[in-house]
Structures are given as structure tokens and as C-alpha cells.
């Protein structure tokens, strides 16, 4: 399937304000791009990219006094296959985990394992470690939290979401991640596009989405506590320990988000702009 995706967002600020944006498609999906992916700004300002420690593409820029608009639209090819299901996947003992995976067992800014471990163990310790345990955590989180945009706030943590029982997709992800880590299962936060093309009806306004991945025998597997079912059409943008590592936009000064639009829809192949092969000599 060809998917057309992108965003248009505007910020306001009284003073020139440095910004950091993780709005590019993750490098693991670069080969799937079928059109150019380029962030444009109004007014035009210098941009440059670097790769952070989690493998995300980050863009640095400075918003001029008054504000700025960031926008991008691109076409990407996707197999449109639901998330893999591997019910026999077992947990990897902590002593056998690769060194680079250990960071995803630790507590982090939004995933306070120290506050949730005494909640997690009575709930999940009797379930076979691995896929079954993770699925139980996903189902619990799905039922524990009631979705609502009015419940979102940038300071909300996994423990807050557990206590208040409300949140948005990132809160579902944070709580499930924290509970997995409490059970010694490495988990990492993911953010990107997830349209409604695989659903029978449109679900709310289009937005960026958050989900998570866990490390079991066989590698990383995708889970989604908000939907509690495999989904198709994910377009990954960034990963990290939690939303602090994969924030879509960070401003280093006072600013206000004044416009926010995200689009994701199927694009007919005969209308897609496919990049031609080119040989440089």
C-alpha cells in the first residue's frame, strides 16, 4: 500500500527560540519512501539533521521571534501487515540480555518502575514470562485507562496514568512500558503515524500515535495498549526510553502551539510520485 502522510504545525514565540524536532521518518523506513521527505518552514530558516543515541533523526533550527510553521508531506510504501504475533516468544533472562538492551529495563522520566513494581508483581508474576505476560500487561493497561484528549498533559507519568485512570496513547504506552520493566522485560517507547485505514470506521481526529516494543527471544515485538490488538500501517518516527527521548518537538524557551494537523491516508499508485533511478557519474 502507498500511504500519504505528513503534518502542518505552527508555533508562536515572543523571542527567537531554538528548537529540536524528531519529525522525520525513522531511518529504518528510508528504503520505503517513494517521494522526498523534507521539512519546510515558514519563514524559511536554516535546518540541519543529526542522529541521536537512539537512532532517531533530529532536526535543529531556531524559531524566529513571532513564530514558525513546520510542514512535511511524503509518500511511503507499506506492506500493511498487522503487527507480528508470536505467542511462543519467551522472556530473556536478565543475565542473558545484550548490554545495549539493559537501558530499557531501567526507570525513566515518564516510567517510574520504583512506584509501580509493588503493583506489577502481584498482578503479573504468576503469568509465564514472555508473550503471555506482556499481553496481560497490555490488556490490563487497555482496561485501566479511559482515552480522552482532555486528559493529556506534558508532565503526566505512568504512575499518574495508573492512578488517574485516564490518558492518551502516550500514557497507555508509558504505563505498559513501566509494568513490563517491573517484570524484567525490556520495553521501549515508539512514536509515529498510525492511520485508520485498517479499521472499519474513523476513530477520532488524526494525530501522531504512540506504541511500544518489547524485547523477547527472537528480537523486538510491537504492542499497542491503547488498541489492544495488532494494527497495520505504522510509520515509525522515533524510539526511546519514553516520550522524553522521542519528543516530536522540543523548544528551548517559552512557546505556544497554535496549529496542529496530521494526515495519513491511502494513495492510489497511479497518482503517487515515484522517485526515478539515477546514476551519478
Share of the chain above pLDDT 90, in %: 90
Cβ atoms within 10 Å of 107's Cβ, excluding its own:
18
pLDDT digits (tens, 9 = 90+) for 128-170: 999 999 999 999 999 999 999 999 999 999 999 999 999 999 9
Interatomic CA distance for residues 268 and 281, integer angstroms: 34
Confidence at residue 204, expressed as pLDDT on a 0 to 100 scale: 65
- Least confident window among 58-62, 125-129, 252-256, 277-281: 277-281
**Phi, psi for residue 9 in degrees, rounded to 5:** -140, 150
Confidence at residue 181, expressed as pLDDT on a 0 to 100 scale: 98
Average pLDDT of the residues in 205-218: 93
Confidence at residue 207, expressed as pLDDT on a 0 to 100 scale: 87
Confidence at residue 159, expressed as pLDDT on a 0 to 100 scale: 98
Q: Which residues contact 32 (CB under 8 A, 6 or more apart)?
A: 76, 77, 78
Is 201's pLDDT higher than 80?
no
Cβ-in-10-Å burial (0-12, 13-18, 19+) of 233 comes to buried
Average pLDDT of the residues in 208-237: 97
Local confidence band at 281 (pLDDT 50, 70, 90 cut-offs): very low
- For the chain, give percent helix, strand, coil, nearest 5: 25, 30, 45
Q: 3-class SS at 120?
A: helix
Local confidence band at 277 (pLDDT 50, 70, 90 cut-offs): very low
Place of cell 513490563: 180
Interatomic CA distance for residues 241 and 187, integer angstroms: 8
Interatomic CA distance for residues 244 and 14, integer angstroms: 25
pLDDT digits (tens, 9 = 90+) for 182-200: 999 999 999 999 998 888 8
pTM of the model: 0.93
Interatomic CA distance for residues 80 and 97, integer angstroms: 31
Which cell goes with 232?
497495520
* Domains of the chain (ranges, CATH numbers): 2-78+247-271 (2.60.40.2250), 94-232 (3.10.620.30)
Confidence at residue 280, expressed as pLDDT on a 0 to 100 scale: 37
Question: Is residue 241 within 8 Å of residue 106, measured between CB atoms?
Answer: yes
Amino acid at each position: 500500500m502507498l500511504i500519504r502522510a505528513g503534518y502542518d504545525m505552527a508555533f508562536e514565540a515572543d523571542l527567537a527560540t531554538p528548537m529540536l524536532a524528531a519529525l522525520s521518518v525513522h531511518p529504518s523506513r528510508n528504503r520505503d519512501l517513494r517521494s522526498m521527505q523534507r521539512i519546510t518552514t515558514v519563514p524559511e530558516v536554516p535546518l540541519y539533521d543529526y542522529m541521536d543515541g537512539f537512532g532517531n533523526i533530529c532536526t535543529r533550527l531556531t524559531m524566529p521571534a513571532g513564530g514558525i510553521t513546520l510542514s512535511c508531506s511524503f509518500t511511503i510504501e507499506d506492506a500493511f501487515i498487522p503487527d507480528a504475533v508470536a505467542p511462543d516468544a519467551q522472556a530473556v533472562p536478565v543475565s542473558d540480555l545484550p548490554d545495549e538492551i539493559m537501558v530499557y529495563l531501567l526507570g525513566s522520566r515518564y516510567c517510574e518502575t520504583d512506584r509501580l513494581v509493588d503493583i506489577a508483581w502481584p498482578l503479573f508474576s504468576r503469568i509465564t514470562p514472555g508473550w503471555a505476560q506482556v499481553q496481560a500487561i497490555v490488556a490490563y493497561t487497555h482496561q485501566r485507562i479511559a482515552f480522552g484528549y482532555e486528559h493529556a498533559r506534558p508532565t503526566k507519568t505512568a504512575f499518574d496514568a495508573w492512578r488517574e485512570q485516564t490518558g492518551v496513547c502516550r500514557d497507555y504506552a508509558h504505563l505498559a512500558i513501566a509494568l513490563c520493566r517491573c517484570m524484567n522485560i525490556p520495553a521501549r517507547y515508539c512514536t509515529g503515524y498510525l492511520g485508520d485505514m485498517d479499521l472499519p470506521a474513523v476513530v477520532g481526529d488524526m494525530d501522531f500515535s504512540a506504541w511500544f516494543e518489547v524485547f523477547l527471544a527472537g528480537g523486538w515485538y510491537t504492542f499497542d495498549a491503547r488498541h489492544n490488538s495488532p494494527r497495520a500501517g505504522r510509520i515509525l518516527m522515533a524510539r526511546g526510553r519514553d516520550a522524553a527521548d522521542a519528543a516530536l518537538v522540543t523548544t528551548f524557551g517559552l512557546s505556544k502551539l497554535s496549529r496542529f494537523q496530521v494526515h495519513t491516508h491511502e494513495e492510489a499508485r497511479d497518482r503517487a510520485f515515484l522517485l526515478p533511478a539515477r546514476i551519478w557519474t
